[in-house]
Amino acid sequence: MTEPDKVKQIIDIMSKNGWRITEQRRTLAEIFVKNDGYLSPKDVYDQMSVDYPSVSFDTVYRNLRLLSEMGALEQFYFMDGGLKFRGSCTNHHHHHLICINCEKTLSFEYCPMEQTLNLPGKFKIVNHRFEVYGICEECQSEQALQTTV
């Protein structure tokens, strides 16, 4: 999918949720399309304030949370880095392995929610997220090199 298509996808999600599409919101979508990694609210604010010096951090943060609720962004909590966001993978259902060292993300297709679950109180699941945090192969190799030197 091309960058313009990805921006359009995020814009379409905003529109379907009743948002008026402003240049600021278009810029917000472009920021996430141009960055493959995770962005903290401060990272996004710093990029937004270049073109829109009057934008407040609270406005940026609120928009990130709402875009996450809409499904346009995924949010992850990193132990050292706090809450971060990235563009959603909307083409199919999958989960993530996330390196706590370099923040590299690997997708995997196994979904533990497909197993038979004996949930209490007739609980009905309507949505879920599943992330596994660890250390990727490259970071493990670097750590092994550092300990042998």
Q: Which residues are annotated as a binding site for Fe cation?
A: 93, 114, 128
Spatial distance between the Cα atoms of 2 and 106, rounded to a whole number of angstroms? 21
CA 126 to chain centroid, in Å, comes to 20
Distances (CA, A) of 84 to 54, 116, 132, 137, 149: 23, 31, 15, 22, 34
Q: Which residues are annotated as a binding site?
A: 93, 99, 102, 114, 128, 136, 139
Question: In 3-state terms, what secondary structure has residue 85?
Answer: strand
> Both ends of the chain: CA-CA distance in Å?
43
User: What DSSP state is assigned to residue 113?
Assistant: G
Q: Which residues are annotated as a binding site for Zn(2+)?
A: 99, 102, 136, 139
Question: In 3-state terms, what secondary structure has residue 127?
Answer: coil
CA 70 to chain centroid, in Å, comes to 12
